[in-house]
A and B are shown apart, each in its own frame.
Chain A
Amino acid sequence: MANGSLRLARNRGGTPISLAVCAVLAVILVLLGRVQPTLFDRARAFASDRAAPILEVVRVPLQKVEAWAAGLANIFNVYQENLRLKEENSRLRQWQNAALALEQRVKRYRLLLNAVPDPEIGSVTAHVIGRSNRPFLNTMILDAGRRQHLKSGEAVVDDRGMIGRIFLAGDHTSWVILLTDLNSRIPVSIEPGNTQAIMTGDNSAAPILEVSGQGIHLRTGQQIVTSGDGALLPAGLSVGKVFWDGGDFRAGLYADAGHSDDVRVLDLKLPAEQLPPVSAHDLPVTAAGLAPLTPPPPKITQPAPQPAGGSPATAAAGHPSTMEPPAQAAAKAQTQTSAPDSDQSPDDQ
């Protein structure tokens, strides 16, 4: 059907004034959104919470269709795929053994060095109930929210690596901003070399790597892990590998957000630093070679029985040990008993 085949109602709607007003309102909205990006967050969280049961129901048949379609595509190369997986499995077993040995070695080194322990990382497993792939947006919706103690900023990973971060947590659902999204910027570390960089999403499949230091050259094949800067994300999460696309260094991501149905949301809990117990030698005065300050004696409120002709002051002076704490008194006694020994010179002995 063509538009021309229908009757046209002219001059009934958009007058220039209302159009101009709408345009001004829209510009104000854009500016407001720039100043306050979380303007719609509550409404979004409300909408996703209400839609979650429907999404979960609709998702089931679609998952079956997706699995069936994926199986159909792979049916012709099952044999080759099987051989490849066996070969990969044997290689991974070797790496697993190496990783276990290294893990034990690192544990021993940590004990020897009395290193600060790694932060505790809790996790919540959630199902992906929705994905949004728009020209300027790449998001995912999970079926876990504040009720499951999820918070904005937490890392979302699948079994291969990091997928993104939670940017909005509703009661039962959460929105995940993928690493490929235009808004995504996370600090990463490139190994070997511990090169610090910022990984920036640009809505393409491979985010750009921006190295802050000068004179640093990245190489294709280097590993990318999260750096943990800012204490928002755990350090050392696998992200991907470096590759050169002809214009920029980019990250080939390990995780496949398009096919991940179950993901883990990591809750980084930074432990309180465990300080060693304080001894008397740690006190600055002791370190300076001075005796620690004795606390003031407690005041005696109950009047002691007065001896005949004696004043309270002389009574107190006559019994100094009663005003000392027991521990100090014992220490003093020990010092006094050991003093003659210390006065003896080695020649005397």
Chain B
Amino acid sequence: MPGHELYNLPGLRFLAALVPFSLAIIGTVAANFPISVTNGFLPVPLFGLMPVYFWGLLRPDLMPPWAALLVGLSEDLLSGGAPGIWALSFVVSYTFIDRQRDSLASLAGYGAILGFATALLIATGAAFAIVAIYYWRLPPIAPVIVSIAINVLWYVPALWFMGKIQHYLVGPLRSDF
């Protein structure tokens, strides 16, 4: 590979380790940027959860549980909601990814998207349950379903993008095993 010697620089290796977490934070910021092309008609996807799922599954050393907690916390902070709801939901979803890593990692094609949909369903379901307990009444289910559908649709290009990042940036710089 041309420029292979560059990949052995410790600084670059450290930066590569930051890429998944940084992408998750950037995704959270982008998702909570309060500008909507659809004028608020469609809910914003959980861009922060996509890198958490992808690298939490593929490279848990680069996306540890505390990273999922921090991404969820930043989602709470920027979205304007009650503190801790998404932080706990992301950790619950990460627990599912951690427990089912073997079966989820073997999924390909539509299966990979289905895997994300399952993790998303768990995160959103956890958030739904926490909100229901928090406010002691059931939130409407329709916006949640629309949100899940939007997230799954967005995961298709996001998966392609994250695959490229993993293939050309994170993988070569962190291929120590």
Contact = CB atoms under 8 A, between A and B. Distances in A.
Interface of A: 1-14, 18-19, 21-23, 25-34, 37, 39-40, 43-44, 47, 51, 55, 58-59, 62, 65-66, 129-137, 139-141, 168, 175, 182-183, 202-204, 257-259
Which of A5, A40, A135 has the most chain B CB within a 10 Å cutoff? A135
B35 A59 contact: yes
B83 A2 contact: no
B37 to A, nearest CB: 7
Given A34-B134, A135-B139, A258-B41, A14 B107 contact: no
A335 B58 CA distance: 104
Contacts of A133: 36, 40-44
B82 A131 contact: no
A33 B85 CA distance: 9
A10 B143 contact: no
B159 A1 contact: yes
A62 B40 CA distance: 12
A140 B35 CA distance: 10
Interface in B66-121: 66, 68-69, 72-73, 76-85, 87-88, 90-92, 94-95, 98, 101, 104-109, 111-112, 115
A145 to B, nearest CB: 15
Interface of B: 32-37, 39-44, 54, 56-66, 68-69, 72-73, 76-85, 87-88, 90-92, 94-95, 98, 101, 104-109, 111-112, 115, 124, 127-128, 130-131, 134-135, 137, 139-140, 142-144, 146-147, 159-160, 163, 166-167, 171, 177
Contacts, number: 209
A11 to B, nearest CB: 8
A3 B139 CA distance: 33
Given A33-B85, A134-B44, A4 B112 contact: yes
Contact of B60 (A12, A29, A202): A12
A2 B65 contact: no
A29 B112 contact: no
A131 B56 CA distance: 30
Nearest to B142: A204
A314 to B, nearest CB: 84
Given A19-B98, A135-B147, A32 B84 contact: yes
Contacts of A136: 81, 85, 127-128, 131, 139
Contact of B140 (A33, A66, A131, A203): A203
B108 A33 contact: no
Given A14-B98, A203-B140, A183 B35 contact: no
Contacts of A135: 43, 124, 127-128, 139, 143-144, 146-147
